[in-house]
Each structure stands twice: as structure tokens, then as C-alpha cells.
Amino acid sequence: LGQKVHVYGSVDSTQTIAHALVASGAQEGTIVLAEEQTAGRGRMGRAWHSPSGKGIWMSIVLTPRVPVYFMPQLTLLSAVALCRSIQKVCQVEIGIKWPNDLLIKGKKVSGILLESSGEDERLKYVIAGIGISVNLTTEDYPEALRSIATSLAIESGQVISRELLVQTFLLEFEDLYALYMDKGFAPIRLLWEALSVTLKRPIRTSTPSGFIEGIADSLDDSGALTVITPSGEKIKIYSGDIELK
């Protein structure tokens, strides 16, 4: 990873740039970094607050030769890499909320957005978008985000080196990606479970057929979350967001 690194000042979204680079022949491991995003995007059509110089706003081009339905596994792998690299660089207690939000004391500090392009049921390429709120202060957040979002600097009480964190993350990601290609999802799943703040906790989620409430029980081989409802029914959640209760 990172043989080719493209660094920008202000962009709309590093995701958009990475897609365009792939269209013009960029290879696996190409990285796009920006100081600022004016239209950073999050999961489920949300915006991602990306002020200048305060965070790591990064997209990575991947070309894993796996079926499209392996996407959730790559998402979980990215979350493990991110969580481990933050633990190495900052002294903070951080955990993963399914599928891939990183939380410190219940507030979100980092998020992952995977966008893919498939062909014949195989992934052609994936752009892994990584957002880490590194050195934002409380004032850098709009009022509406202050109760739900935080930064590594706020939580650790120190300014964190973005360079060190990017390097540490890329090494961690590379190791896990190689492990995944070699041994499949099983070892990644164990690592994810150990870092999760979701499992064995009461959760709530909304689906097209209504709300589901229950205890998050386990992760299955595809990366879906199994929830046990009060009536004992087991329901699998494949995508979307959950609320920890």
C-alpha cells in the first residue's frame, strides 16, 4: 500500500478523486489524502465533517479478487486495522461499534466508507474511505455533533501526529489484508470480536420491516450481526446502523 500517494489541499471528497484515479489506471494500493474535504461523505448518505488540517481524510484503492458479497468482511477488516493503529499511537480506550464506527466513551471518532464497483459478481475495485478525527477541538465541531462526536486530541489530551497515525494504520491494514487473503475471514472475525463494544449489549435498529430490539450476540462468517430478540428469535442484520442502548 502507498506506493503511490496523492496529497491534496482542499477537495470535495477523496473518494471521488480515488474513483477518477482508478478510471485513469491507478493500481491497488494507491492512496489519496487531503487536508480538507468540502463535501466529505459518510455512510447512508450522510455528510462527513472534514475541517482543514485536523484529521486524516484518506481513500485507498483496493482490487481484491473476491466476490461482491465479501464487502462487509473488508469493512470489518478496515475497522480492526483502524482500531489497532489508534490503540498503538494514542493512549485511549477505543472500541468498534458494528459494523465499523470507532467509539471512545460512546462518541464517534472515526468512520469507514467502502464504495465498490462490481463486474460479473466479482469486485472490480473497492475504494476504502477512512476518516479519523485527529486534532479537532470541541469548537471545530458544529453544535449538533458535539454530543455524538469526538477527536483523538480531545480524548487523549495531546496533539497527535497524523503522519505517524497514517503510517501505523497502513502497516496494520497491510498485515490484516495479507492475513485475510491467505486465511480468509475467520482470524479477522476473532480480532473484530475482541475489539467490539457491540456484542452482548442491548441494541436497536430499524429495518424496512420495522424496529428490531435485542441483544447483539455474535458475528457470522459473512460479517452479519446476529441479534437475539426478547422472544428468543435470532435475526441477522446485514447492513445499516445500530443504536447501542
Residue 60: which of 119, 126, 134 has the closest Cα? Answer: 126
CB of 210 to ligand BTN, least distance (A): 23
Rg (CA), the chain: 17
Residue 227: which of 193, 197, 194, 204 has the closest Cα? Answer: 204
Amino acid at 54: K
Binding residues: 37, 41-43, 108
DSSP annotation of 244 reads E
CB of 189 to ligand BTN, least distance (A): 21
CB of 120 to ligand BTN, least distance (A): 27
Residue 192 CB burial class (10 angstroms; 0-12, 13-18, ≥19): buried
Binding residues for biotin: 37, 41-43, 108
Residue nearer to ligand BTN on the CB measure, 59 or 214: 59
CB of 43 to ligand BTN, least distance (A): 4
Is the C-alpha dihedral spanning 118, 18, 128, 113 positive or negative? negative
Q: Which residue is nearest to ligand BTN (CB)?
A: 111
Other C-beta atoms closer than 10 Å to the C-beta of 146 total 13
Amino acid at 128: A
Q: State how far the Cα of 58 lies from the Cα of 216, in Å rounded to an integer.
A: 30
CB of 18 to ligand BTN, least distance (A): 8
Residue nearer to ligand BTN on the CB measure, 47 or 190: 47
C-alpha cell at 242: 445500530
Residues that bind ligand BTN (CB under 6 A): 13-15, 37, 40-43, 46, 48, 50, 57-59, 101, 111-113, 129-131
Residue given cell 449538533 in the structure block: 144
Residue nearer to ligand BTN on the CB measure, 111 or 214: 111
Residue nearer to ligand BTN on the CB measure, 58 or 80: 58
100 close to 112: Cβ distance less than 8 angstroms: yes
Residue nearer to ligand BTN on the CB measure, 132 or 214: 132
